[in-house]
Amino acid sequence: MHPRLHRLFFSVTSSLAVMSTLCAGMTASADPLTGVYRGEVYSQPNAVNAYSTWLGFDVRMGQGHQAKDSWGNIENPGWQLGAWRTWVKAKPGRRFNYSVAMFPSGQGTLASCAAGAYDPRFKNLASNLVAHELQGTIIRLGWEFSGNWMPWYSGNGQQANFAACFRRIVTAMRTQQPNAGFEFDWNPNYDISAADLSATYPGDAYVDYIGLDMYDQGWNGAYPIPAGCTGSCALTRWQSVWNAQFGPALTKFKTFAQSHNKRLSVPEWGVNDAATNGGGDDTYYVQQMLAFIFDPANNVGYHSYFDIQAPDGHHQLSSADANGGNTFVTEFPNAAAAFKAFYANQNPQQPAQLSTTKATVSPATVTRGQSFNVTGTVTSSTARTLVVKYEIRNATGSALATSTQYTNQTFTAGQTRGYTSVFVIPTSLSAGTYRVDTLVYTADWSQTLLYRNDTTFNAN
- Residues linked to residue 34 through DSSP beta bridges, in sequence order: 303
- Lowest-pLDDT range, 128-132, 348-352, 446-450, 454-458? 348-352
Q: How many CB atoms neighbour CB 294 within 10 A?
A: 16
pLDDT of residue 283: 95
Mind listing the domains of the chain with CATH numbers?
3-344 (3.20.20.80), 354-459 (2.60.40.10)
DSSP 401: E
Name, in order, each residue with C-beta under 8 angstroms of 175's C-beta and a sequence gap of 6 or more. 123
What residues act catalytically? 144, 268
The better pLDDT of the pair 366, 384 is held by 366
Residue 350 reports pLDDT greater than 80: no
Residue 443 reports pLDDT greater than 90: no
pLDDT of residue 357: 87
pLDDT tens, residue by residue, 186-233: 999 999 999 999 999 999 999 999 999 999 999 999 999 999 999 999
* Three-class secondary structure of residue 201 per DSSP: coil
pLDDT tens, residue by residue, 49-61: 999 999 989 899 9
Tell whether the torsion through CA atoms of 326, 332, 336 and 339 is positive or negative. negative
Mean pLDDT, rounded, of the chain: 88
pLDDT of residue 171: 98
Helices (H), 90-154: 110-114, 119-131
Question: Which of these, 421, 456, 452, lies nearest to 355 by C-alpha position?
Answer: 452
pLDDT tens, residue by residue, 231-283: 999 999 999 999 999 999 999 999 999 999 999 999 999 999 999 999 999 99
Reported as a pLDDT band with limits 50, 70 and 90, residue 4 is: very low
pTM (2 d.p.): 0.71
Whether 435 contacts 412, CB under 8 Å: no
Average pLDDT, integer, range 16-22: 29
